[in-house]
């Protein structure tokens, strides 16, 4: 089905253009939020791995005299 010039003009009203632009802006903002969330998730994972590695790398505490010494 072919659309005539009058039909196309009907679909390109200023309100329609603003709606399309507004939708595009919202879509891009949502994409940026998902990108940021992915980055934050990666950062949290890296910090958790670092914390676990540091915990396992610490030498165990040993009793000396009356106190404890942790190295």
Any idea which residue has 């969330």 for tokens? Answer: 37
Predicted confidence at residue 12, as pLDDT, reads 64
The verdict on pTM exceeding 0.85 is: no
Predicted confidence at residue 26, as pLDDT, reads 94
Predicted confidence at residue 1, as pLDDT, reads 47
Q: Which helix (H) or strand (E) holds 16?
A: helix 14-57
Q: Where are the domains of the chain?
A: 12-69
pLDDT tens, the chain, 71 aa long: 455 555 555 556 777 778 888 999 999 999 999 999 999 999 999 999 999 998 888 766 666 666 666 65
Q: How far is it, in rounded angstroms, from Cα 51 to Cα 38?
A: 20
Locate 23 and state its tokens. 């939708």
Q: How far is it, in rounded angstroms, from Cα 21 to Cα 36?
A: 23
Q: How far is it, in rounded angstroms, from Cα 40 to Cα 32?
A: 12
């Amino acid at each position: 089905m072919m659309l005539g010039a009058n039909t196309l003009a009907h679909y390109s009203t200023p309100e329609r253009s603003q709606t399309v632009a507004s939708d595009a802006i919202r879509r891009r903002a949502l994409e940026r939020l998902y990108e940021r969330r992915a980055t934050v998730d990666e950062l949290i994972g890296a910090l958790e791995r670092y914390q676990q590695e540091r915990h396992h790398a610490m030498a165990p505490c040993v009793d000396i005299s009356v106190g404890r010494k942790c190295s």
